[in-house]
Structure 1
């Protein structure tokens, strides 16, 4: 097993992610990388993220991780994004009055507020969306190995990536509207849910990631 770098730009749920990786890959070297140099020789890159997108983008770019991530993707290094770590890979986010992201995926990140339908008896969907949701696997992928379709994963977010007209959706869920639970392209896999908080199936996905060669 090789080196797995968790990119530390000051906005991630780093210790729970690192703990989960150490659990599923005890023979790997799990590094919390604060500089591109510390992540340079990693065989796998993980991009976590918790918080507001403007702060996340500022921290990510200030740490010098944007060129590192794009170079790793071009080189075929397996990459996993989690929650806001997925959203910073998108084109643009509506959060914080609009923030340009890394444009690795071309879709936008939208706010739930104007899109959720009204529930019966005047009730409303709560924002943020928080809790366990079933995820439909919309394509075969090595990271779904050993995970039953429509397994439940843990979500906490107020912004989402639309699932409609999005050919890169690897997993879909619904919270009033269909949304992308996972995206995949080439050697990139990204989840809106938190695998490190998703019990057995989340650990299985992380195990699949550290054993993935980046090919589908």
Structure 2
């Protein structure tokens, strides 16, 4: 199985590569269109700021490639957010795969004052996809100041001031706001499920 992690200069790629290695697979880092298109599975990571990350995607024309991929694609953290219509972060237009706009957390929430960014473990609930095959609700690791609201493509949710999308799916595209590569055995099982799709 050929697994490609998209390397566009905005991803926490080494920790994902090591997590895949622990599952017994090799993952290749690439921004080459042919390599990405010919992969069996594609992982689209992201750490940092949305508008600068989208700029890097446009410069390498990956913004045209990614939405047209037909194999299973997993966006992680900012990668998932960039797969949405847009983001309040830098007033950024996204890839338009998931039909939702990413919002900024504000300190005053319906449940009281929250700290921004959310950093740490949070319970993931209302699981509804093969990505969570054989898994119960559990805790995952998150670091983010922006979130995708609940929408028709939500396949799992967390609560932090608001209920929000912890994971999204549309057709062959999956996204997790949390970091499976930093979420212990639970996250490893999610990656294993993705590779088995």
Q: TM-score, normalised by structure 2?
A: 0.95
Structure 2 regions of 5+ residues with no counterpart? none
Q: Which residue of 1 aligns with 2:27?
A: 30
Pairing partner for 1:142 from 105, 116, 130 = 130
Size of the aligned set, in residue pairs, is 197
Q: Which residue of 2 aligns with 1:182?
A: 167
Q: Which residue of 2 aligns with 1:9?
A: 8
Q: Which residue of 2 aligns with 1:50?
A: 47
| Structure label with greater radius of gyration | 1
Alignment of 1:1-216 (within 5 A): 2-24=1-23, 26=24, 28-72=25-69, 75=70, 77-96=71-90, 98-113=91-106, 116-117=109-110, 119=112, 124-139=113-128, 141-148=129-136, 150-163=137-150, 166-212=151-197
Deviation of the 1:160 alpha carbon = 0.4
Structure 1 regions of 5+ residues with no counterpart? none
Runs of 4 or more above 3 Å deviation: none
* Secondary structure of 2:115's aligned partner: coil
Q: Give the conservation status (yes or no) of the 8 Å contact 1:91–1:101.
A: yes
The change in CA–CA distance for 1:151 and 1:36 in structure 2 (over 3 A counts) is same
Q: Give the conservation status (yes or no) of the 8 Å contact 2:4–2:28.
A: yes
Q: Give the conservation status (yes or no) of the 8 Å contact 1:154–1:193.
A: yes
Once residues 91 and 114 of structure 1 are traced to their aligned partners in structure 2, the CA distance between those partners, rounded to angstroms, is 24
* Secondary structure of 1:17's aligned partner: helix
Q: Which structure features the higher share of strand residues?
A: 2
Once residues 23 and 146 of structure 1 are traced to their aligned partners in structure 2, the CA distance between those partners, rounded to angstroms, is 20
Q: Give the conservation status (yes or no) of the 8 Å contact 1:35–1:64.
A: no
Deviation digits for residues 92-116 of structure 1 (CA, Å, limit 9, x no counterpart): 11112x1111111121000011662
Deviation digits for residues 139-175 of structure 1 (CA, Å, limit 9, x no counterpart): 2x21101321x21000100000111xx1111001100
